[in-house]
A = this chain, B = another copy of it.
């Protein structure tokens, strides 16, 4: 019997929390020691998630009730804006993987612009690591506080970062047209997210104003060595899981689509969770449902010099809970795919 670390999940009653529980149920080195859910405190987990009936998990409590002494690591699945204050008060011995957006923007002015208030835990921002695992493995390994990337940024950055770093594509004029399943909108009771409002229809939202745009631009800027501005349009699709991002960008004059493909194939050839699909197999969110994978393909457009890249992830896994577990695995030097070896559930 292997020893296990004790883990607490803050905000366990949302979809991201439930997904962490699904993944961690199969993790040989983790013990779920505490679950918090302020509005549901006192209830057993099956009262909020009947599919977890019989799972032997601790009941939900308020986060103030948790004794963090014996806890090793915290997954924070709390709302944006609230998280920073909660994390600021946690004991220093804890490793923290934050699935909110609170520590993702490293420039305090940028944070204030997009979130409408000054950041309340800038001292912690300094030690945070942006945890896009494949591109931050060394820092993640040493980090105490991980800012787990957003779902849209993960889908866009995995294909774009290697191409920008190697200057195969131009940093100007990148357009990211993303389509997401509805779980990305969370579990709170909003009329707009009722089945009857979503099923059978489709719309864009946050056009030219979604908060994931600066998050994407920050990483692209790091890769390009210059400021980058993207067009980013998210859409809500009548399905539960999955993000498909269709990305339009311009090849550098010296490079072809085949060159770009080669860069991505080389970058990810040893990566367990990123696949560059062969020509002719287009990414579909079906291919990644329930898994931590990102599948990518790219096509030379009919417009000379333009490249079309398509990537697909499961927003709740590689876009949230799965990447969080992946980061935890890296932090503890466990095999990176521990508890993440799922075959996609199709149909």
Roughly how many angstroms separate A291 CA and B30 CA in the complex, as a whole number? 21
Q: Say yes or no: A239-B18 contact (C-beta < 8 A), given A50-B287, A52-B343, A207-B282.
A: no
Most interface-central of A202, A283, A285, A306 (chain B CB within 10 A) = A202
CB contacts (< 8 Å) of A333 on chain B: these are none
- Whether B290 lies near A200 (C-beta < 8 A) is no
CB contacts (< 8 Å) of A286 on chain B: these are 50-51, 197, 200-201, 203
Say whether A265 faces chain B, with CB atoms less than 8 Å apart.
no
- Whether B53 lies near A200 (C-beta < 8 A) is no
- Whether A53 lies near B281 (C-beta < 8 A) is yes
Say whether A229 faces chain B, with CB atoms less than 8 Å apart.
yes
CB nearest to A172 among chain B residues? B303
Q: Say yes or no: A179-B282 contact (C-beta < 8 A), given A195-B194, A196-B347.
A: no
Roughly how many angstroms separate A54 CA and B265 CA in the complex, as a whole number? 14
Q: Say yes or no: A196-B182 contact (C-beta < 8 A), given A53-B275, A239-B201.
A: yes
Q: Say yes or no: A51-B343 contact (C-beta < 8 A), given A46-B281, A179-B235, A202-B239.
A: yes
Roughly how many angstroms separate A187 CA and B303 CA in the complex, as a whole number? 32
Most interface-central of A195, A199, A282 (chain B CB within 10 A) = A195
Roughly how many angstroms separate A57 CA and B276 CA in the complex, as a whole number? 18
Partner of A22, one of B51, B177, B284, B345: B345
| Mask: chain A, 176-195; 1 = CB below 8 Å from B; 0 = not | 01010011000111110111
| Mask: chain A, 213-247; 1 = CB below 8 Å from B; 0 = not | 10000000000000001110101011111101010
Roughly how many angstroms separate A341 CA and B341 CA in the complex, as a whole number? 13
- Whether B177 lies near A246 (C-beta < 8 A) is yes
CB contacts (< 8 Å) of A345 on chain B: these are 22, 290, 345
CB contacts (< 8 Å) of A52 on chain B: these are 343-344
CB contacts (< 8 Å) of A231 on chain B: these are 248, 301-303, 306, 308
Roughly how many angstroms separate A104 CA and B63 CA in the complex, as a whole number? 48
CB contacts (< 8 Å) of A306 on chain B: these are 231
Most interface-central of A235, A286, A341 (chain B CB within 10 A) = A286
Roughly how many angstroms separate A202 CA and B295 CA in the complex, as a whole number? 13
- Whether A229 lies near B302 (C-beta < 8 A) is yes
Most interface-central of A21, A288, A299 (chain B CB within 10 A) = A299
- Whether B208 lies near A196 (C-beta < 8 A) is no
- Whether B299 lies near A207 (C-beta < 8 A) is yes
Say whether A85 faces chain B, with CB atoms less than 8 Å apart.
no
- Whether A239 lies near B238 (C-beta < 8 A) is yes
Chain A positions within 8 Å of B, measured between CB atoms, are 15, 18, 21-22, 25-26, 46, 49-55, 173, 175, 177, 179, 182-183, 187-191, 193-205, 207-209, 213, 229-231, 233, 235, 237-242, 244, 246, 248, 275, 277, 281-290, 295, 299-303, 306, 308, 310, 312, 341, 343-347
